[in-house]
Amino acid sequence: MGLALLAAPATAQDRTARLLGELADAHGPSGFEEPVRKIVVRELAPLTDSIRYDGVGSVIAQSGTTGPKIMFDAHMDEVGGMVRRIAPGGLLTMQLLGGFLDQVLIDKRWTILGSKGPVTAVTGIRSVHTVAAEERSRLIPRDMIFLDVGARTAAEVEALGISPGDPIVPWSPFEIMSGGVRYVGKAWDDRVGLAVVIEAMRRLKETGHPNQIFVAATVQEEIGLRGARTAADIIKPDVGIAIEAGVTGDMPGSPAEASQARLGGGPGIFLFDSSTIPNRKFVALVKAVAAAERIPLQLDLVQGYGDDSGAIQATDGGVPTVNLVVPGRSLHAHNGIIDRGDFDRMVELVVALIRRLDAKTVAELKDFTPR
């Protein structure tokens, strides 16, 4: 593979773009992953030997019955919310699911998934004409935010099929941006990871691999890495590879210490985050595979970030793990952006990596005998 970082324009959607769009548009906040699960099972069924589920709803698809057990992980849930209270005047409050900045919540459209179908809601904001000058630059805290569905009373809200506990997701349709190589949408964390896993399994189905691959499409990552833990309890992997959406530091005003990654710079690997420090031998192997395949690899250390590899690592007496990331800009908000070239090179990287994980290599990753 060459070192050029730009993918061919894909304004006319190819299979991968269609899959990315379908996954991004699917509604699936933590605990409500059913629409995403349906897509994942449909895609993985012809690519794997069997599919089962853990007790909280994670998908576990197996390919191969001999060799090391590789847990190949991406989570299905996205940041979102659920209806908390319905006020007498027809406004609603929201319980957030996952990490949002307060400033991204105001004046946005949302979709409430009620019993009678989806309902559009708006997190309203007072008109500038009624806000005192000293308040205009102040941040509106999340506990002051209300959802407006156009109802005048609580009874009208209930007539729409909305009740407390109903899931809420950002409204942000997928779109291919000008130039054809960057995609905007919601939920790249972690629908981009799911798409990587699916496309990698498509290639491995064609070429074969020396492992038992257990694809884990997990639930409730955004509220505590829950599905990864329960899925790993079932799989008992020899090694774990988590595929995530990374963060970039290429926005104006971004602190240099926040992230070194940039959009379009290639796939990344986290050397540290708040949930895990990866296995050092595994990191070295990823670097070696990327170099051999001539794939640019971005190295990053990120505070305030947790991922499924942290849960996988701490199961069954300890599992060597790495967290590989497709860089994403403006994540955990309505309009995240990814680069198609980063995605394609991540697929190439994980396919090459999994082919290298034979029994001897995996045994070396797990050997901590002093030399």
Task: Could you list the residues known to form a binding site for Zn(2+), using ranges.
Answer: 75, 189, 222, 244, 332
**Tokens representing residue 213 in the block:** 């691959």
Nearest to 147 by CA among 120, 113, 186: 120
Pairing of strands 182-185, 175-176: antiparallel
Nearest to 328 by CA among 222, 123, 183: 183
**Tokens representing residue 171 in the block:** 């409204």
- Name the amino acid, one letter, at 358: D
Residue 224 to residue 222: CA distance in whole angstroms: 6
Phi then psi for residue 36, to 5 deg, are: -70, -40
Helix (H, G, I), strand (E, B) or coil at 149: coil
- Name the amino acid, one letter, at 14: D
Catalytic residue among 33, 78, 221, 348: 221
Residue 158 to residue 160: CA distance in whole angstroms: 5
Question: ∠64-70-73 over CA atoms, to 5°?
Answer: 110
Question: ∠364-64-77 over CA atoms, to 5°?
Answer: 90
For the chain, the 3-state helix, strand and coil shares in percent, each to the nearest 5, are 30, 25, 45
Let me know: does 36 contact 190? Beta carbons within 8 Å.
no
Residue ranges of the annotated binding site are: 75, 189, 222, 244, 332
**DSSP H or E segment with residue 230:** helix 226-235
- Concerning whether 221 is annotated as a catalytic residue, the answer is yes
**Tokens representing residue 100 in the block:** 């949002």
In the sheet that 59-63 helps form, which strands lie side by side, from edge to edge? 50-53, 59-63, 212-218, 69-75, 239-247, 321-328, 268-272, 298-301
Residues labelled catalytic: 221
